[in-house]
């Protein structure tokens, strides 16, 4: 029957992943970490029993959390990523020629080290000389930093363990303070179907903090329910479409300007949640 990883999303909903093998496991300072080789989805990073990213479908999530905000800004140069220890968002942000530096603030260096070793196609951006890796709690970093950013992307794990306070309104105000006067912030906002409260909390924080706030969706097959939401908060630019001065990126597998616009078209049940 082989080896199976059991991912418990709720007490009533468990997903079973058939594995070729378990490549690596360890207990880091912050979480249980595993790298597994799955039958259907390639190699995957698992943190505290939750699948974070898989080789087969990671491009959907990483392109959508990175390019919607990056393309809505006319010329993003300085970018901050909170979390994102697998390197997928970093890889995508670095595809923008306008970017001069990306600070990636990850609390757990063992995530970065293991992803560089076992998930090189996702973690390839760490070797780019524009990438600055900072091992720190994102919550603390945004409080003390004097830098100013054009785009901040919060690619945190779910609101459990070290990521809990990245879903709090204080964190959003601190991010607002380190953005340029025309900056914008994107955060992964969980599943509106399964974690409606966390979703509503993330969007509520954005709307309370920024003059312009929006929600967009993408289907991430290996995340619970596949229905995944992202929230955007912006000081100046409307995020619902790429900036007209931006030339389209080539070689992407999911994001296009039409997908960007369509992602903001919300089904009534999601609109009701954000209302």
Instruction: Enumerate binding residues for ligand SAM (CB under 6 A).
Output: 45, 52-53, 61, 82-86, 105-108, 111, 137-139, 155-158, 162-163, 166, 188
Instruction: Name the minimum Å distance from CB 83 to ligand SAM.
Output: 3
Q: 109 φ, ψ to 5°? A: -65, -20
Minimum distance from CB of 264 to ligand SAM (Å)?
Answer: 19
For residue 181, the minimal CB distance to ligand SAM (Å) is 25
By C-beta, is 188 or 201 nearer to ligand SAM? 188
d(CA 134, CA 104): 6
Nearer to ligand SAM, 50 or 99 (CB): 50
Task: For ligand SAM, give the closer residue by CB, 22 or 75.
Answer: 22
Let me know if 155 is a catalytic residue.
Answer: yes
Longest distance between any two alpha carbons in the chain, whole Å:
57
Give the bridge partners for 19, in sequence order: 3, 38
Q: How far is the CB of 135 from ligand SAM (least distance, A)?
A: 9
What's the rounded Cα separation, in Å, for the pair 52 and 204?
24
Do the strands 212-219 and 227-234 form a parallel or antiparallel pair, or are they unpaired? antiparallel
Closer CB to ligand SAM, 13 or 258, in the complex:
13
| Positive or negative: CA dihedral 171, 76, 126, 250 | positive
- Alpha-carbon distances, residue 160 vs 49, 157, 165 (angstroms): 12, 8, 9
Going by their DSSP bridges, the two strands 3-10 and 78-83 should be labelled as: unpaired
Q: Give me the least distance between CB of 116 and ligand SAM, in Å please.
A: 12
In the complex with ligand SAM, the residue whose CB is nearer, 72 or 187, is 187
Choosing from 86, 155, 158, 174, which is the catalytic residue?
155
What is the pairing mode between strands 78-83 and 101-106?
parallel
- Work out the angle at residue 215's Cα, subtended by the Cα atoms of residues 211 and 219, and round it to the nearest 5 degrees: 160
State how far the Cα of 275 lies from the Cα of 272, in Å rounded to an integer.
Answer: 5
Which residues form the catalytic set? Answer: 155
């Amino acid at each position: 029957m082989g080896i199976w990883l059991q991912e418990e999303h709720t007490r009533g909903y468990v997903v079973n992943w058939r594995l070729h093998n378990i490549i690596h496991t360890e207990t880091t300072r912050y979480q249980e970490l595993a790298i597994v080789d799955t039958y259907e989805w390639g190699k995957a990073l698992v943190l505290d029993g939750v699948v974070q990213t898989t080789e087969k479908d990671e491009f959907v999530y990483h392109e959508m959390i990175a390019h919607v905000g990056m393309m809505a800004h006319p010329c993003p140069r300085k970018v901050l990523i909170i979390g994102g220890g697998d390197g997928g968002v970093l890889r995508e942000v670095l595809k923008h020629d306008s970017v001069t530096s990306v600070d990636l603030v990850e609390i757990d260096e063992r995530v970065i080290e293991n992803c560089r070793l076992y998930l090189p196609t996702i973690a390839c951006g760490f070797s780019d000389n524009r990438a600055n890796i900072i091992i720190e709690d994102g919550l603390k970093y945004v409080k003390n930093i004097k830098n100013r950013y054009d785009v901040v992307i919060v690619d945190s794990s779910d609101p459990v363990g070290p990521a809990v306070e990245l879903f709090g309104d204080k964190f959003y105000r601190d991010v607002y303070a380190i953005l340029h006067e025309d900056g914008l912030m994107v955060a992964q906002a969980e599943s509106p179907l399964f974690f409606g409260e966390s979703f509503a909390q993330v969007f509520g924080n954005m709307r309370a903090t920024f003059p312009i706030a929006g929600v967009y969706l993408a289907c991430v097959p290996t995340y619970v329910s596949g229905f995944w939401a992202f929230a955007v908060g912006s000081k100046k630019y409307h995020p619902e479409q790429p900036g007209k001065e931006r030339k389209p990126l080539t070689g992407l597998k999911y994001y296009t300007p039409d997908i960007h616009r369509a992602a903001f078209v919300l089904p009534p049940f999601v609109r009701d949640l954000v209302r």
